[in-house]
Amino acid sequence: DIVMTQSPDSLAVSLGERATINCKSSQSVLHSPDNKHHLAWYQQKPGQPPKLLIYWASTRQSGVPDRFSGSGSGTDFTLTINSLRAEDVAVYYCQQHYGTPPWTFGHGTQVEIK
């Protein structure tokens, strides 16, 4: 199975500032047939299921604000939240969907307001 490692476990950011979350996969998730990285990001708020934010490492899901952006390649990926807002307080997860199952998730990064 591909192991997904996120860092940090938690971070506190001032309102209006930038939050940066890292995710590392144990092997490349670059899918040669479509030349895309099969890496997704989710946001989860208390009592709710995860919400899909980004897929293909950098493509925002419809309706996701453009302050959320994804980047990276190979095995190293980043979710950036620009101009942090109070409603962005949540746990963020990465997930790989490369090749065949099982699909695996990182253990999450808690974003809080400083």
* Cβ nearer to another protein, comparing 38 with 75: 38
* 60-61-64 Cα angle (round to 5): 80
- Residue whose pair of structure tokens reads 């980043």 in the numeric block: 78
User: Contact positions toward another protein, by CB under 8 A?
Assistant: 1, 38, 40, 49-50, 52, 55-56, 61, 93, 95, 97, 100-108
Supply the minimum distance, in Å, between the C-beta of residue 6 and another protein. Answer: 10
* Cβ nearer to another protein, comparing 16 with 102: 102
- Among the listed residues 3, 1, 13, the one whose alpha carbon sits nearest the alpha carbon of residue 79: 13
Tell me the two tokens of residue 93.
């997860």
* Cβ nearer to another protein, comparing 3 with 15: 3
